[in-house]
Amino acid sequence: MSSDVEGIELRPVTADEAPRWMQVIEAGFGEHLEPGAVERELTVLPLDRTIAAVDRDRIVGGAAAYGFTMSVPGGGSVPAAGVTAVAVSATHRRRGILRAIMRHQLDDVVRRGEPMAILNASEAAIYGRFGYGLASSYQRWSIDPGSLRITRPLPERPPLRLVPQDEAIDLVRPIHDAAVAARPGMVRRSEAWWRLVLGPDEQWKGGGKLFVAVAEPFGADPGGYALFSMRDAGAEGGLVMRVRELTAATPDTEVLLWHLLTTTDLVRAIEVDAAPIDDELRWWVHDPRAVRTVALRDYLWVRLLDVPAALAARGYGVDGSLTLEVVDDAGYASGSYRLDVDAGAATCARRPDGTDADVRLDVGALGAAYLGGVGLDTLARAGRVQAASLDALATATALLAGGRAPFCDTRF
């Protein structure tokens, strides 16, 4: 279909066009298309969720989305479009093509009945103007295992075991599914996705030569796992461990996995790709400086489209009522809404425009607060939320608090 940009057509990619489309997307991120990348990606990405920006017969940009199910506060889940592969060729920048692509994609998400879109941003300054709000962050760690001793007592349970990478999917997939429900922001992975995470070819979703440590289910504990790799430490001797994922639904399992990793022979340093900002490891060791944060980065950006469906899907720690006025320059989520929570269960309905609101905020601020990663009181101090009174702000903040910090361990 035509777009608002003269001469640019926006449409799904055909199977024959997929290699060229991916070349354009990869170039937009400064990368070259690797052999086998197209075939791998098409195992998880439906072509009808791709967008090609076409100038005459030439693909000059695009985007895509995965169909995810994301966990929300309270242990529930919600459908979410996982936006990915957003790029415009350098030859066609500053022509409004990105804005047209984003609008086209959000229209498609609405048609599919998904109440929100989520993404992780290559540049954090881009997506706020499209209504996305920063909803989760993560930290990268550098761990000195020689200076680290875990002081939390280790639980008594069967020993961990190392599992061959090509035999691990059936063990780790149900463990991950259980962990998804325990933390907001996590997304379920299909078997095809797991074949990329644990596949022999290293790419941005995972894969490569991995070690897989598994704590099998024990009683009511669903177990846990760690995916890690090793490389030579160079002139210093020994090994550097890179922890790609460490997933556990309970502290007992998590401490067992960390104990294994931090006491592995020959390891001189440990690099952790991503840890939740409220991870307990620093509180389990005698020297918290041995766990050094080397980066704190944004990850999930949330764009609400159907406010009643989104707010009714999540749980709430307190009961109460709240009237919100949401401002959305694109129009998808604009309006007044009444949220009522009774015994933790929520209903949300649109109210007539002009209804007196307890809080007024833009759709990006509501997306930022949706998973509980930032309080409405913080956003109010930042000028992103206006409240009718301090009591109204306190009620709104308490209602949308989320418990555990949101986190997503899936690269998309």
CA distance 195 to 189: 10
CA distance 131 to 360: 15
Non-local CB neighbours of 58 within 8 Å, separated by 6+ positions: none
Spatial contact of 12 and 48, defined as CB atoms under 8 Å apart: yes
H helix intervals, 221-296: 251-262
Closest Cα partner for 14 from 46, 55, 60? 46
The catalytic site residues sit at 127, 412
* Distance from chain centroid for Cα 21: 24
Low-confidence stretches of the chain (pLDDT < 50) are none
pLDDT tens digits, 30-73:
999 999 999 999 999 999 999 999 999 999 999 999 999 999 99
Print burial letters for 109-145: b (CB count within 10 Å at least 16), e (below 16): beeeebbbbbbbbeeeeebbebbbbbbbbbbebebeb
Specify which residues 88 forms β-bridges with: 61
Half-sphere exposure for 117 (CA within 13 Å, toward CB): 32
End-to-end CA distance of the chain: 26
Q: CA separation (Å) from 205 to 10, 21, 191, 192, 377?
A: 27, 19, 13, 12, 35
pLDDT of residue 405: 97
pTM: 0.95
CA distance 176 to 291: 24
CA distance 374 to 359: 16
CA distance 77 to 315: 10
Print burial letters for 168-202: b (CB count within 10 Å at least 16), e (below 16): bbebbbebbebbbbbbbbbbbbeeebbbbbbbeee
Domains of the chain: 8-114 (3.40.630.30), 138-298 (3.40.630.30), 306-400 (3.30.1050.10)
pLDDT tens digits, 255-280:
999 999 999 999 999 999 999 999 99
3 state SS of 187: strand
